[in-house]
Amino acid sequence: MADYDLIVIGAGPGGYVAAIRAAQLGLKTACVESRDTLGGTCLNVGCIPSKALLHASELYEEAHSGALEKFGINLKGASLDLKAMMAEKEKAVGELTGGIEFLFKKNKVDWIKGHAAFESASSIIVDGKSYAAKNFIIAAGSSVTPLPGVEIDNSKGVVVDSTGALELSKVPEHLVVIGGGVIGLELGSVWRRLGAKVTVVEYLDQILPGMDGEIRKESAKIFKKQGFDIQTGTKVTGVAVKGKKAILSVEPAAGGEVSTIEADAVLVSIGRRPNTDGLALDKAGITPNNRGQIAIGHDFQTSVPGIYAIGDCVPGPMLAHKAEDEGIAAAEFIAGMTGIVNHDLIPGVVYTHPEIASIGLTEEEARERGAIKVGKFPFAANSRAKANRDTDGFVKVIAEADTDRVVGVHIISSLAGTLIAQATQAMEFGACSEDIAYTCHAHPTHAEALKEAAMAVQGKPIHM
Ligand code: FAD
Ligand code: NAI
């Protein structure tokens, strides 16, 4: 006899959303979570605390750096109370994780507290107690990828991962970030704004792998202008901790002369890997691939009928909104419906200043598939950005040459994360660049830059 119709393992954005959706659809549902609070990586130590600190540090930099003086606002003497900043971040996290607990109660989802491991394909064990279910969704998420030769110890605050970098007790004089990806640039931005010198050591020859080439180049230029020291084509071969200092050994990625960098804090952010080790997947008959990911079919079902997997522990981008949408779709499949996630249209946003946002194919990927037309429009020619004195960045729209169908949009702008939603929706509806160009956009808004970039696909923007 099954205790539940569905047990979800993990209460991150994938798992908690799947559990709520399943309960809404009438399934008797439980969710197992080993943390003290619900919400997974995203709410506890990921999206939410990082965005809280990005927002607060941006306010501090604006107030402290004299950037507001040109608007006639003189805030000389603005100072930092890091403890208060951290406390406000914790408050946001607490309100949101508590909110999930409320939603579980409201939707009658049972929270089984503890660590789940499979006993068989139809039961799990949590703290010595066995639970059987007709279906399972594995939503165990991911953790930081370790770097050989580098020992992370968040409690000491010298060599840390993203969780440690969200709670440093003081601003390091020199922070070295290993990995010029999303976490390195977001959390590097936080500490740079708060006063740290930040060096980014990136193995590849450019930061932000996977993004559109022009966007990568432009963002590196902007970050360097902000004071980031970006060392690309460089690898860290070891970190020695001496008291409160760290000495990094670095050398060119292709090998060569070793040099050292001294730092007060080191952030290891070289990617994340799925949390599939502690689940006893073999007892359920599932073998993860060589990257630790669980293979799934179009319906999110693993090779074992009745066991589904979603989010960071399956292939694809490791993003909260992707995990959420997969959670809803998997729950709908289990309830006998057809769940839908368009994996070709998962937006990605880097929440630096300016923000960097992408949807669909990069220009490089699009060119490989066939002839394209590209329209670009700079924020330097957008009236709202000009009025705000905030003109960094551009919009790029990529359309198929023969059909004019939009296949990619890439934006650098202080509002890129918000603007990308419009491009995503247009692409979801199969828009041509002309559809965007002939849609009336309110004036003066940053969104007009997207319209102008779409007009530029035909070579006819107005304001350029
Ligand atoms: P997770 O959120 O990792 O949740 C999995 C949960 O399962 C965890 O709480 C874990 O404790 C639990 N668990 C695992 N194994 C077991 C077990 N055996 N038994 C019981 N419980 C278990 N993404 C964005 O889209 N936007 C952002 O701005 C963003 N910012 C980020 C910032 C940082 C610093 C980090 C680290 C990540 C960020 N991400 C962001 C990525 C995002 O957090 C993840 O993609 C998302 O959390 C994945 O959701 P998930 O449900 O798959 O897994
Ligand atoms: P990442 O994959 O974005 O970047 C890792 C970087 O480290 C890459 O540029 C890679 O080339 C580099 N690297 C790898 N090994 C290295 C080495 N030995 N030395 C130097 N550089 C090395 O991974 P990151 O930043 O750790 O983030 C993990 C995941 O979290 C991302 O995939 C992202 O999906 C998610 N995330 C999303 C956010 C968002 O949506 N805004 C914010 C933060 C994280």
| Model pLDDT, residue 277 | 94
pLDDT classification of 412: cutoffs 50, 70, 90: very high
User: Same domain, yes or no, for 260 and 193?
Assistant: yes
User: Same domain, yes or no, for 328 and 382?
Assistant: no
Cis before 444? omega within 30: yes
Q: How many C-alpha atoms does 219 have within 13 Å on its Cβ side?
A: 33
- Can you tell me the mean pLDDT for 329-356? 98
Q: What range defines the domain where residue 304 resides?
A: 4-144+273-334
User: Same domain, yes or no, for 299 and 263?
Assistant: no
Closest CA to 18 of 35, 34, 1, 5: 5
Q: Is 416 in the pocket of ligand 2 (CB under 6 A)?
A: no
Which of 162, 272, 359 to mutate to test ligand 2, by most ligand atoms within 8 A of the CB atom?
272
Residue 183 lies in a domain: yes
Q: Per the structure, how many domains does the chain have?
A: 3
Closest CA to 22 of 422, 374, 300: 300
| Model pLDDT, residue 229 | 98
Q: Is 311 in the pocket of ligand 2 (CB under 6 A)?
A: no
Residue 459 has pLDDT above 90, yes or no: yes
Residue that terminates a domain, selected from 270, 304, 320? 270
| Model pLDDT, residue 76 | 85
Residue that terminates a domain, selected from 230, 254, 270? 270
Amino acid at 369: R
pLDDT classification of 1: cutoffs 50, 70, 90: confident
Residue 149 lies in a domain: no
CATH code at position 323:
3.50.50.60
- Can you tell me the mean pLDDT for 277-291? 97
Note if 174 is an active site residue. Answer: no
Residue that terminates a domain, selected from 217, 249, 270? 270
User: Same domain, yes or no, for 91 and 67?
Assistant: yes
Give tens-digit pLDDT for 413-444: 999 999 999 999 999 999 999 999 999 999 99
User: Same domain, yes or no, for 88 and 165?
Assistant: no
Residue 339 lies in a domain: no
Map residue 420 onto helix, strand or coil. Answer: helix
> Percent of the chain at pLDDT above 90?
99
List of E strands, 379-414: 394-400, 406-413
Query: Mean pLDDT in the chain?
Result: 97
Give tens-digit pLDDT for 102-111: 999 999 999 9
Separation of 163 CA from ligand 2 center, angstroms?
Answer: 14
Residue 356 Rama label (left phi>0; alpha psi -120 to 50; beta): beta
Residue 311 Rama label (left phi>0; alpha psi -120 to 50; beta): left
Give tens-digit pLDDT for 145-158: 999 989 999 999 99
User: Same domain, yes or no, for 40 and 132?
Assistant: yes
Residue 64 lies in a domain: yes
CATH code at position 399:
3.30.390.30
Count other Cβ atoms within 10 Å, centred on residue 445: 16
Give tens-digit pLDDT for 7-53: 999 999 999 999 999 999 999 999 999 999 999 999 999 999 999 99
> Percent of the chain at pLDDT above 70?
100
Residue 276 has pLDDT above 90, yes or no: yes
| pTM for this prediction | 0.98
